[in-house]
């Protein structure tokens, strides 16, 4: 039996581009048969919904409140909701952060302004894992394409439901070439998105915390979910 987990989803509370609440995202994924998922709202340097005028600690707390707003629903449904983040390190390039909690973000004010190498060093020192999101995405709002920086990445998102097959194929080849772990995500921003149920990671057991999620991924226990199938 495989337990399915989304690795890349947003909420309207934390992401400016999110259209559904974190609680409604949990309900949608549970209805799709998922055991859990990671809420990866856009961090402060990205498309964040958190007001920039707030203090650093208040901004981080708002991210956590988005997560907490969905916890009662997740607990009632038996859904393993995990806390993550999506960080824009420049030129529309983003990394997904797993396995570090709100205490880490509160303890690292202005971490978004650090060079990626130092950002990654701090995440790794805290036990976190970094996967490069959609490395070959190119959209009309991007002025130019920039090559992804994999210097701090443990993994590559080799399947993003929101990207075309050719971009995903290049991402998979990149992961193979560098010998990195592989992740899959829907990049869902609303609760009736077609990608819900079509991407993510499958594990042979429940992963109930961010630490368990990272440990299982590092141990090679996960399988990719690609177009709804466990591969």
Confidence of residue 100 (pLDDT cuts 50, 70, 90): very high
The count of structural domains within the chain is 1
Q: Return the ∠ at Cα 181 (arms to 217 and 25), rounded to 5°.
A: 60
Beta strands in 10-109 (DSSP E): 36-39, 80-83, 85-90, 93-98
Q: 194 pLDDT exceeds 90?
A: yes
Q: 89 pLDDT exceeds 90?
A: yes
| Residues in CB range of 125: below 8 A, 6 or more apart | none
pLDDT the model gives residue 143 = 86
| Residues in CB range of 1: below 8 A, 6 or more apart | 204
Write the pLDDT tens digit of every residue in 152-188.
999 999 999 999 999 999 999 999 999 999 999 999 9
Q: For residue 164, what are the domain limits?
A: 3-230
Q: 31 pLDDT exceeds 90?
A: yes
Q: 140 pLDDT exceeds 90?
A: no
Strand order in the sheet with 93-98: 85-90, 93-98, 129-133, 155-160, 181-185
Q: Residue 43 maps to which CATH number? A: 3.20.20.140
> Look-up: residue for tokens 């303890």?
107
pLDDT the model gives residue 97 = 98
């Amino acid at each position: 039996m495989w337990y399915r987990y989304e690795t890349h989803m947003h909420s309207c509370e934390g992401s400016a581009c999110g259209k559904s609440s974190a609680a409604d995202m949990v309900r949608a994924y549970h209805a799709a048969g998922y055991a859990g998922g990671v809420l990866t709202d856009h961090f402060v340097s990205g498309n964040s919904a958190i007001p920039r005028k707030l203090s650093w600690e208040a901004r981080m707390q708002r991210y956590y409140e988005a997560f907490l707003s969905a916890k009662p629903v997740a607990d009632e449904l038996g859904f393993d909701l995990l806390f993550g983040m999506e960080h824009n390190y420049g030129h529309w390039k983003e990394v997904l952060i797993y396995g570090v909690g709100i205490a880490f973000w509160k303890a690292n004010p202005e971490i978004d302004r650090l060079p990626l190498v130092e950002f990654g060093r701090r995440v790794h020192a805290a036990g976190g894992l970094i996967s490069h999101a959609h490395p070959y995405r190119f959209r009309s709002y991007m002025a130019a394409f920039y090559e992804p920086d994999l210097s701090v990445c443990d993994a590559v998102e080799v399947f993003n439901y929101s990207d075309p097959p050719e971009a995903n194929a290049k991402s998979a080849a990149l992961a193979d070439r560098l010998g990195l772990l592989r992740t899959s995500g829907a990049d869902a921003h609303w609760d009736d998105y077609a990608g819900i149920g079509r991407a993510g990671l499958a594990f042979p057991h429940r992963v109930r915390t961010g630490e368990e999620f990272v440990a299982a991924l590092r141990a090679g226990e996960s399988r990719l979910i690609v177009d709804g199938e466990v591969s």
